[in-house]
Amino acid sequence: MFSVVTANVNGVRAALRNGGLAQLREAQVAGKADVICMQEVRATTEQLHEALAAAGFSAAHVAHDCSAKLGHAGVAIVSRYPLQDITFGVGPKEFAKTGRWVEATVDIKQTPVVVASIYVPTGNAEIEEKQAEKYRFLEAMSRKLRAHMKSGADAIMVGDFNVAHRELDLKNWKGNLKAAGFLPEERAYFDTWLGKHGWVDLHRRRFGEVEGPYTWWSSRGKAFDNNVGWRIDYLLATPGLAARCTDLEIGRAATWDSRWSDHAAVTAWFK
């Protein structure tokens, strides 16, 4: 058995202060977080290692794509297993050093698995330039996913994708039909990835045709308390790896004031 976690940490130093890294470390020690993929690290590589060391991750294998814009974005893989063939970036030069894509081959008990931690731009339907940037990223991501699927290797692409794929993936879908994160053009990419390319959405495979469960809640109003959320954190696996997935869990905090991030960590287990 091994496990993969995706967690938007909302700033790794804040996650350290708020107890989030301690929770992730406890899970790793217990064998419930073998590979942790983080998004919105918002730190230099030195600061990331300092935070990880303070939380007890000193012996972990780490790959970090740091944004050149300080305090912005950033993705990382923190693994109990060695990382090989580490690469950064989704492809186009405009996304180099933006802290949005890091991938590596993880040698899990002599079984190599390609893992990517991904942070898709939020976009903005009212600002054409920002939304166009998001579409360019999603287009580049499509090329990456197609190439990984053609390679035949076991792979899992995880992270904060900043899109709710279906009406089941957000509570107030009628009120967001024209909002970034639920635009038809964004959602169509997921149709391609899951349909034409053959990736498996482990969340939907586990929970079926039900609302949510959600992974992100706005800090405004009582969105968390009323469970008015979005499902924007994904684990997409190649079919062979998906067939080995035994369970998936949403780490939703028990109460609003016990949260350490505005996202819930999502864990998948494999045999």
Q: Which of 34, 154, 160, 201 is the catalytic position?
A: 160
* DSSP run (H or E) holding 52: helix 45-54
Residue among 189, 200, 91, 204 nearest 154 (CA)? 200
64-84 burial, b at 16+ Cβ within 10 Å, e below that, comes to bbbbeeeeebbbbbbbbbebe
Integer distance in angstroms from the first to the last C-alpha of the chain?
4
Q: By the 8 A CB rule, do 49 and 96 touch?
A: no
For the question of residue 160 being annotated catalytic, the response is yes
3 state SS of 218: coil
Q: How far apart are CA 95 and CA 188, in angstroms?
A: 22
Q: How far apart are CA 28 and CA 80, in angstroms?
A: 8
**Residue at token pair 């197609």:** 146
**Residue at token pair 């990984």:** 148
3 state SS of 95: helix
Catalytic residues: 160
